[in-house]
Amino acid sequence: MAATYVDISKDARIPSDIAQRTQNGEVFVIRACLQRLGLFEEIEASTIDAITHVTGQETARKLADEGIQFIHKHASLAQIAKITDRAYEIGQGNANKWISQVARNLLGIQNSYYYERTPNIRFHVPYDILAADQETLRKFSGARGGGKLSAHPNHRDSWVGCPDNLINIWAAVAPIKEGNGLIVFPEAFDQDIKHEGASIAHDENPGEPLIPELQAGDAIVFQGDHLHSSVLNRIDETRHAISFRVVTEKPNFSNGHYHHYVHSALASGPFKMFARLPADLAWSYVGTRFGWIGERLGRRARVAAKKQSNVSAKVNKLRAGKRSFRLSDLAEDSLYAITDDVCVARIGQSKVIAFDRKCPHGGSDLSLGTVTNGEVTCPWHNLRFEPKSGASACKSLSNLQMYDVIINGDQVTVSLEKSPAPSSN
């Protein structure tokens, strides 16, 4: 059953059973979440402190006025990487205080709980800026892991060494739009989705994406084993977010145990140095450190019918590298693979386009994507491709390789000869 999505407006009460409902798969957007918790000003100020530390006061003042989402206009990628490092130091120092607000006053947890010892702090700059400085990105990701400056592939948090029973509280520190948002795929919750390491398998269909737009302080609250990823940032605004991972019971590491979880009752006071022990004293930790375990140690059963992908056009092979099929066999606004490498999209009633299946960004299978407002949309990072040229809003990526399509009545014929090479726009 697909998980439901609940948007709690800024004047509405937060449900007292939000933790349980989140564990059951509901996805919440809590408007003005950080403001309600009394955390917004402090977290925003900590980012401005980090900016001041790296770039000096003038830039920090400008960004405090204009908005942190414009950080890439005033700081280089290398500076933003350093700002992220500094923001992490500040965040780690405040983790216990900030997360106890989240646990008590948002999730309504009365007893002890566990939390990931460092909040995740992200600055997703526009993709073209990342593409222009791969060296900085490579060094930064090597030291701090992926996903802080760039988009992860579709994943569950347990695939990246987190517990499979965590609640993720993912909050906007600056406004976040559809063109640089967080994507959750609610239809995939509780489905048995194959993965290759930390990424969804290429032939899996994640289902319809949910990409809430957020004002600064709004938060998305979701079970960490929801399939999720980020939009490849295609707009001229940086996405600045902070996220907290909280577990109401003992953390269950079913796919590796890489992240340290702190027991709230030990997090402050004389036994602080032992706060990691209750979660780390587990076979999953020992096994992961020594590489003894494979995947799925103790994984909770999540068995459900896999959503059928729509790769099913009835295709005839014709001579001279052509394929043909009936227009009436294609549903409107749907995608179909017609060979191992090429797929078609029926857009509206009468338009059919053919193009390479492999996304020029991360290599996802575009035949598993969607058609959104007449454009082909990547199933991993929601990048959209214009149907005529195959161009996307990310100028550093190549256009899709398009193929000629002839429609004659109900008959559609695709020529697999490559159309003139697309320009890199």
> Which residues are at the interface with ligand FES (CB under 6 A)?
232, 359, 361-362, 364, 378, 380-381, 383
Between 252 and 364, name the residue whose CB sits nearer to ligand FES. 364
Residue 378 contact, options Fe ion, ligand FES, none, Cβ 5-8 Å cut-off depending on partner type: ligand FES
Between 33 and 366, name the residue whose CB sits nearer to ligand FES. 366
Residue 157 touches Fe ion, criterion: CB under 5 A: yes
**Gap between the Cα atoms of 221 and 227, Å rounded:** 13
Looking at the DSSP bridge assignments, the partners of residue 323 are: 317, 414
Between 33 and 394, name the residue whose CB sits nearer to ligand FES. 394
Token pair for 315: 């295709």
The CA-atom distances, in angstroms, between 422 and each of 14, 57, 371, 390, 395 are 50, 45, 21, 8, 13
Between 15 and 161, name the residue whose CB sits nearer to Fe ion. 161
Closest CA to 182 of 241, 99, 136: 241
Closest separation in Å from C-beta 151 to ligand FES: 7
Residue 63 contact, options Fe ion, ligand FES, none, Cβ 5-8 Å cut-off depending on partner type: none
Span of 152-160, 215-223, 273-281, 353-361 interacting with Fe ion by CB under 5 A? 152-160
The site that binds Fe ion (CB under 5 A) totals a number of residues, namely 1
Between 171 and 378, name the residue whose CB sits nearer to ligand FES. 378
**Gap between the Cα atoms of 360 and 378, Å rounded:** 10
Residue nearest to Fe ion according to CB distances in the complex: 157
**Lateral strand order in the sheet of 322-326:** 316-318, 322-326, 411-418, 402-408, 351-356, 342-347, 334-337
Closest CA to 401 of 423, 383, 374: 423
Task: Describe the chain by its helix, strand, coil percentages, rounded to 5.
Answer: 30, 25, 45
Torsion sign, CA atoms 66, 67, 73, 77: positive
Closest separation in Å from C-beta 339 to ligand FES: 19
Between 229 and 252, name the residue whose CB sits nearer to ligand FES. 229
Closest separation in Å from C-beta 225 to ligand FES: 21
Helix H or strand E encompassing 403: strand 402-408
Residue 157 contact, options ligand FES, Fe ion, none, Cβ 5-8 Å cut-off depending on partner type: Fe ion
Residue 287 contact, options Fe ion, ligand FES, none, Cβ 5-8 Å cut-off depending on partner type: none
**Other beta carbons within 10 Å of 14:** 17
Closest separation in Å from C-beta 209 to ligand FES: 12
Binding site for Fe ion (CB under 5 A): 157
